[in-house]
A and B are shown apart, each in its own frame.
Chain A
Amino acid sequence: MNVPTLATLALVLAYPIFYAAYLSFHKVALAELRRGVFPFVGFDNYTRILTDPLFLLALKNTLVFTIFCVTVEIVLAVAIALLVDQTHVWTGRVTKFLILLPYAVPPIANGLIWAFLYSFDFGFLNRILFTLGLIHEPINWVGYPSTAIFMLAVPYIWRTLPFAILLVHAALQGINPELFEAAAIDGAGALHRFRHVTLPLLRPVIVVILVLRTSFAFTVFEEVLAITQGGPGDATWVAAWYSYKRSFAPPFDIGVGSASAYVLALIVGALAIAYVRAVYRRID
């Protein structure tokens, strides 16, 4: 009964992972693809990317992007999950209903919608601020190299926040309410209860979110393509964008693309091992 699954996983997951390693040690560009012969080049592709300032910049940008996204997401997820837990406020029920919506939006569409929101001349955000009378000159939201990566993080956070909120919210439902009552009887204020009861009990789920979101934020792609395409300058080149551009845009150097993707995979792989160690024990 496992044959279809194993066959598909072998073709689409296992084989490509090893084949990617193979490609990363060979010269594979348009000419080689046509001939079907890939000359062995050893660690050439790796030395090339590790000495390429653009690749190192892309890694750095990815790191900044990931740390920013994951931190903001965890704070927002805990805050919003606690917020919608206050079921006696009717606006809370509206929030709860809307939480899942961003999850369904195609990432590339999300990117384009934010490109419209951010647009300097015609953008929706500037329109809102003009209408509210808050600005008198349009703001160039993604025009500055120093802040573009953070502006890029906002759409990504918007799209991936539902997942984090859901996990925190599910964990909150599992906390025994008597714990809060006991703490309240002992004279603990709301802030105290949060710090000494809620937060410690949420720690496991926060670790799960931390590792999962970190490893996925490392591979951000669609929003970059739709909003900045790496710009302004090369301020928003991220790792997945580097692999994509090297492989599928001139000079179509698939060997170099594979090597850079493999560096990415090794980083994410280390996180995956940490995840399994930390969390998946509890499944048995």
Chain B
Amino acid sequence: MTITKDDVKYVANLARLTLDESSIDMFADQMAKIIDYVDTLNQIDTTGVAPMANAVSLNNAFREDNNTPHLDREKTLANAPDKEDGFFIVPKVIG
């Protein structure tokens, strides 16, 4: 499979990554090789095989709907790069 520079840029944008030109070339080349290898999966007939999402088939893990202690606000904000008055601060969202 050919992975073009535009393919890499498109996926990078979805993943909120910006890449310089040399990285785009490198990733396009490496992804093409890895995806070619992954395409060997098409040698297997999987008609009617159920997909496996998890190793243990647990049903929903329910619990009683009780109040339990949680991190307080100060601790929740302890690692925030920017905060004010008990809130996370982010750069301007629109415009």
Asked if A pairs with B, the answer is: no
Binding site for B on A (CB under 8 A): none
Binding site for A on B (CB under 8 A): none
